[in-house]
Chain A
């Protein structure tokens, strides 16, 4: 009896090792990070996401399947800057002992929206500046190398290639913004996620909600935005893939501002959408913005 039991527990202990894939299992907290990891890991890593495309990480609620993904993962990549408030509890609950990589480590933090009363903590949406994603890439490269030293050469060369693409993207963004007349570089979006974009490229983004999509807009906020649009003659209002479009439509109707296309802030779209990768996302946003602001 005891022997059977002993044999059984040996089997149980051995099971995870047998099930292991040759590829390095990496779990990224949301779709944009997942894309960067894929670019750097190439075919040496298998990436799973906790918050998938088109979903809002601010209001994410974990499922048991997510805890399993974490438990299986060798490396967990998270944004940091307080973006994933739930990650500590989830990691603990899943019993995962994966190495943690904080992608935004070393990014210069910026404060949340100014002039809105309750501004505390830092803005987590650092990926809206391409320069920050270069830091992300370097952090992720180091994390992957530490977890899988055998793949170092590949990770390093993939990262170099990706950084070159990001440099090209950065130049493209700067050139496009430079073409927009300075007095038209102002737009409204539903959630305040573009602070880093604003600081990096000199476009003003104004949002009717606070920094997080969790808060519900009050009449005061909406009135403030409308007054501002009218007074500053803000030319365009934009929507995101994750916020309430109805409120924005109302604001646009009332002020006569033009409704631009959809901007993608915190989540990629699916394969068929306009922003399946991070680079596509920035390009898409850029095209929408310059399209609405240059034509009058």
Chain B
């Protein structure tokens, strides 16, 4: 019975195994990235970047159809251009980074929609907005795995300046010039993960697998390392459980994964050991000693 519910779908169907492998790889990259997004108060930046990627992917699509690498490369270029342009404007004018990013991403999104609908058809656009984790082929799996590896290694390299900039940017600036390069590198990793995510979940939901596990982790740990581990694990559980929900109930798989992540977040919000609402309401016990 338990076997039938939890394991049989994956044992029986290759597409389920591929979907699971894809979401696991995605979880390893997206969890830690999400934690840093949250700590740097950039949670909404992820969403903005997801939209900014669209025109690049659209150009890639128009040049070579549903070709994975063309779309991924186009998305990367568009994401970088928006991120760097927003950064430059913020540094050289009065405009703050969030405002300039908002301006650039919305231009980018409008451009993407225009390109897709002028040259392509309506249905193409929907494929961008809602990918499907059920159709991962070898190429895509390899791409997602490479992206996850690059993310984990990249984060390890820029870990120190990144953490320092989160907690004490003034101190980092006084001892080292690594803050700006680390920030750019981090944005690059963000874009890489979004490109992975939109093949599996679509541009609209790719951000979900980063942010929801990260905010979940916030309720269980104060330590950044622990948060990253919890983030990755909760993303992984969301992927596995979401696929099962989709398999048993017939709910589309992408939204199912994100909704499970949302449910885990809701539970953590209430019962999380670090600042969960229920623990706040009954603070008594651990003050006794």
Contact = CB atoms under 8 A, between A and B. Distances in A.
Given A219-B9, A223-B247, A254-B15, 17 more contacts: A55-B121, A56-B123, A216-B255, A218-B247, A218-B252, A218-B253, A219-B15, A219-B246, A219-B247, A222-B134, A223-B13, A242-B123, A244-B123, A244-B127, A246-B135, A247-B132, A250-B18
B72 to A, nearest CB: 14
A220 B137 contact: no
Contacts of B126: 59
A221 to B, nearest CB: 7
Considering the complex of A and B, which 7 residue pairs feature the smallest CB-CB distances, nearest first? A216-B252, A246-B135, A219-B246, A219-B247, A220-B250, A55-B121, A247-B135
Interface in A35-60: 54-56, 59-60
- B contacts with A: majority SS: helix
Q: What class of interface size applies to chain A in its complex with B?
A: 20 to 34
Contact of A217 (B9, B122, B134, B243): B134
9 contacts: A213-B123, A218-B249, A219-B15, A222-B15, A223-B9, A223-B16, A246-B135, A249-B135, A249-B137
Contact of A219 (B19, B121, B123): B19
Contacts of B12: 223
Given A61-B122, A219-B134, A254-B13, A245 B254 contact: no
Contacts of B248: 220
Interface in B214-241: none
B61 interface: no
B122 A250 contact: no
Interface of A: 54-56, 59-61, 117, 213, 215-223, 226, 242-247, 249-251, 253-254
Q: What class of interface size applies to chain B in its complex with A?
A: 20 to 34
B137 A250 contact: yes
Nearest to B243: A219
A215 B132 CA distance: 12
Contacts of B130: 216
B137 A247 contact: no
B66 interface: yes
B137 A60 contact: no
A212 B7 CA distance: 31
Contact of A254 (B14, B246, B249): B14
Nearest to B133: A219
B250 A218 contact: yes
